[in-house]
Each structure stands twice: as C-alpha cells, then as structure tokens.
C-alpha cells in the first residue's frame, strides 16, 4: 500500500505541468493525468483525512461558509458542482501523516516534471526564435488547446500549460520548492538560477514579481532576525514597491519595463482593461459590488461560484481582454471576497493558516509573501494546479522541518553523550 502511495504521489507531482494533456471539461480545465493520479492518491489515503482534525475542521469551515453564502439566494445547481470540484482538488492537502517517503516521492516527481517542462520550454523558445514552425506545430499537437501570448520579439513558451502566465507561476513555485527542499549547495543554487532564467524568458510579469518578492523577503528575514524588525522591513518593502509602481513612468521604461509601465498606468487609473489592469485592480469589482448592494452582500457576497453574471453585466463593455469583462477575476482573494463576502474570506484564510502554520516555522515571512503574490496572480480556484503545487510545497516544508528537528535532537544528544565521556553518534542524514 505504501509503495502504491509513493508511485501515485510521484506521478501526481510529475504530471502537474501538463494540464493540456487532459480531456477538456471547461475553459482552461481538463481531466488531466495529474488530476487522475491525485484523485487515486487521495482515495488510497482517505483514512488519513482524520489524522489531523485541524486540517479537516478548517476545510469543513470553508465549505460551510461557501454553502451558506448561497442558501436561499441561488439554486444548488449553480454552485454544488463547482464546490465538489474545488474540494476534490483541495482534499489531498487535508491528508494527515502521509509519511516522509511519500513526501519525498512528491518532491522527486515534481523535479522530474520540472526538468521535462524546462526542456520543452527551451525547445519551444528556440523553435520560435529560429522560426521552426514544424516544431511548434508538433508541440501544439502534443499539447492541444493551449494558447500563447505573442509579444515582440519572440513567441512566449507555454510548454504543457494553457497560458505562459500559468507556466510562470509553476516555475515560481519550483524556485521556492527547490530552495526549501534541498540544502544550499552550489548545485542547488545553479539550478535555482536556471529556474530564474526560465521565468524571465517566459515573459510573465506576474511570475517574475512572485519570485522577486520571495527572494526579497528571504533577504529581509536574514538581515532582520527579530520578528518586529522583520515585519517593519517587510512593510517598507511593500511600500517601496508601491512607490516604484506609481512613479515607474518617471523612472525608466523594454519588454518587462514597458509592462511595468502599463501596470503603473492601470494602478493609477483603476482600469480593468488587459491582464495587467485585471490583476492590479482585482479588488475594484469587490468594492463596487459592496457599495452597490449593501451590508448583506458585504458578509455573504454573490454566493460561491455565482459572480460571473454580475461581472459580465457590470464590466462586459470592457471587452474580452478584461478578465472582469469575461466574468473572471485573476486574484483568488478577490474572487473569494466577491463570491462569499467577509465570512468566506475569513474561513479561507483560516484554512491556509492552519494548513501551513506548523510547517513553515522560521520561513513564515518569505512563504506568506510568496503565497500572497501567487493569490494575486492566479484566479482559477477549481484548477488542480494551485492546490497540487501547494501540496508539494507543504511536503517540502514538512521534510525540511523534520530534518531540522532531527538534527537539533542529535546535537542535544551529542552534548549529553559528550558529558558522559562516551563516543558521539554518527552524523545525521537529512530527511530532505
């Protein structure tokens, strides 16, 4: 049974970057190999749902708030299927003690999928730069239903994803997972640098900023050891970013710089047009909805999975390049607040805190900032991508924490043994 769990964990993580290989059931949503393997992994370990009551209770709290936001307001068929899909992809995160060997299988499966994805992305980029259409057509055949952005001077790679921005979010997760899961060696540092280069050539501003915030927060945590000073430095970092964003056009202007200029303009004007405006002003629809509909909607929102019609009615005139105009929000926090109100967002945040608080000790500022940035850049709640990547990250954090606890116990043991004059034990082997 344990070996089967390890195999399923490995395959689940290895298939994460290939959603376009699946059977399409909705826009940007497929029954993919990762989802099939992840569901089998969940069923095999279903009893572990009760190992951690805090995980389970917090998840049930989210479900309760999401359902309450609809009761008496929207028909059940408008939200139940979406809610079932959400908890189907979220459920592996609720599992309790799946064991270190299974966690290692997740990490190595993830690394396998990552290397394959980076190779495919490189081939795709070179084929674009050298205008080798046969290679691009072959990749489109292998990974159907995908879309590429097309900024100059090259066609942005998307590998097995629907959009380049999804690839960039995956690579940003990869940077953090490698940083957490492996010791700081020259090899791991080179690999992280390579991931950083991949994020750059994907050309996604969101992916670039997510990774940048994580690295900056790491530096802040390293320089300021006390929590108070670290928090102050963190707030200064955010304020500095906001200042640069507002005044960017007065400072500098090339591919990333031009896009930052667009972000600055969208931030200043509150515009929801384009991907930049849709992300940077994602909370504008939330505040518009609250101001137009009163206090009940402040607490309950539109009802889970029921905000699309209101968005299209309110912002449809902005065109298809606006996420709000299509009925979408490119920000999970904003989507939860609009659809489930204050109760929903509090329950959702509680679940995230409960799930990650105990395994992120010593890394909370970088991990929190990273996850906040991801939530601001990605809005597909019922896609397995965000949840499975979070599962791999949580596994990496758990392995690292277990290794550090074991090492600290051995250090204490050495001191006790040394004081008794007996031989010291052998050096520990890292759990990661």
pLDDT for res 75: 94
Whole-number percent of the chain with pLDDT over 70: 77
pLDDT recorded at residue 44: 92
Q: Coil, strand, or helix at residue 245?
A: helix
Helix or strand holding residue 30 (H, E): strand 29-31
The residue ranking higher by pLDDT, 413 or 325, is 325
Q: Could you tell me how many helices (H) and strands (E) the chain has, helices first?
A: 18, 2
CA distances from 254 to 88, 172, 314 (A): 42, 22, 34
pTM of the shown model: 0.84
Distance CA 122, CA 198 (A): 8
Mean pLDDT confidence for 84-91:
92
CB of 340 within 8 A of CB of 74? no
* 257 vs 326: CA distance, rounded Å: 27
pLDDT at 128: 82
Quickly list DSSP for 158-209: -TTSSSHHHHHHHHHHHHHHHHHHS---HHHHHHHHHHHHHHHHHT-HHHHH
CA 274/CA 321 separation, integer angstroms:
5
The Cα–Cα gap between 351 and 193 comes to 32
Phi then psi dihedrals of residue 29, to 5 deg: -135, 125
Asked which of 61-70, 91-100, 272-281, 374-383 is least confident by mean pLDDT, the reply is: 272-281
- Number of C-beta neighbours around residue 418 at 10 A: 11
The DSSP secondary structure of 108-135, one letter per residue, reads HHHHHHHHHHHHHHHHHHHHHHTT-HHH
Which is nearest to 41 in space by CA: 77, 85, 94?
A: 94
Strands 29-31 vs 23-26: parallel, antiparallel or unpaired? antiparallel
Task: Tally Cβ neighbours within 10 Å of residue 306.
Answer: 20
Query: What CA–CA distance (Å, rounded) separates 300 from 309?
Result: 17
| Rounded mean pLDDT, 403-409 | 70
Q: Residue 293: its pLDDT value, please? A: 87
pLDDT for 419 equals 45
Each residue's pLDDT tens digit, 134-154: 988 888 888 876 555 555 556
Tens of pLDDT, residue by residue over 210-221, are: 888 888 877 766
pLDDT of residue 241 exceeding 80, the answer is no
Tell me what the mean pLDDT of segment 1-14 comes to: 92
Angle at CA of residue 361, ends 360 and 364, nearest 5°: 65
Give the mean pLDDT of the chain: 81
Residue 422's pLDDT band (boundaries 50, 70, 90)?
Answer: very low
What is the Cα–Cα distance from 419 to 407, expressed in whole angstroms? 19
């Amino acid at each position: 049974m344990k070996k089967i769990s390890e195999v399923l964990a490995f395959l689940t993580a290895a298939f994460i970057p290939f959603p376009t290989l699946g059977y399409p059931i909705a826009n940007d949503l497929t029954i993919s190999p990762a989802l099939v393997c992840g569901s089998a992994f969940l069923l095999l370990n279903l009893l572990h749902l009760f190992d951690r009551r805090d995980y389970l209770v917090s998840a049930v709290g989210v479900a309760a708030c999401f359902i309450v936001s609809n009761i008496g307001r929207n028909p059940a068929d408008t939200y139940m299927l979406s809610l079932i899909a959400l908890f189907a992809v979220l459920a592996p995160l609720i599992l309790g003690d799946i064991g270190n060997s299974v966690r290692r299988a997740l990490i190595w499966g993830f690394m396998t999928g990552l290397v394959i994805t980076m190779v495919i992305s490189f081939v795709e980029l070179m084929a674009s730069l050298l205008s080798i259409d046969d290679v691009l057509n072959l990749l489109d055949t292998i990974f159907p239903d995908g879309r590429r952005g097309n900024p100059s001077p090259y066609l942005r790679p998307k590998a097995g994803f629907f959009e380049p921005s999804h690839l960039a979010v995956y690579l940003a997760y990869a940077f953090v997972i490698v940083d957490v899961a492996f010791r700081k060696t020259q090899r791991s540092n080179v690999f992280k640098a390579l991931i950083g280069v991949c994020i750059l050539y994907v050309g996604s501003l969101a992916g670039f900023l997510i990774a940048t915030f994580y690295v900056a927060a790491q530096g802040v945590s390293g320089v300021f050891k006390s929590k108070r000073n670290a928090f102050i430095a963190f707030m200064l970092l955010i304020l500095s970013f906001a200042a640069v964003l507002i005044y960017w056009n007065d400072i500098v202007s090339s591919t990333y710089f031009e896009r930052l200029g667009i972000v600055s303009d969208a931030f200043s004007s509150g515009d929801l047009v384009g991907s930049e405006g849709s992300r940077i002003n994602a909370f504008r629809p939330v505040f518009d909805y609250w101001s137009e509909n009163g206090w009940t909607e402040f607490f309950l929102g539109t009802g889970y999975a029921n905000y699309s019609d209101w968005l299209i009615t309110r912002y449809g005139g902005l065109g298809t390049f606006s996420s709000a105009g299509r009925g979408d929000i490119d920000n999970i926090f904003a989507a939860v607040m609009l659809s489930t109100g204050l109760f929903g967002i509090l329950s959702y945040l509680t679940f995230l805190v409960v799930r990650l608080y105990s395994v992120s000790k010593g890394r909370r500022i970088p991990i929190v900032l990273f996850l906040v940035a991801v939530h601001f850049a990605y809005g597909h709640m019922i896609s397995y991508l965000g949840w499975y990547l979070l599962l791999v990250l949580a596994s990496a954090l758990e392995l690292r924490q277990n290794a550090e606890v074991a090492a600290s116990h051995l250090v204490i043991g050495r001191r006790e043994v040394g004081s008794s004059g007996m031989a010291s034990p052998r050096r520990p082997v890292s759990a990661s």
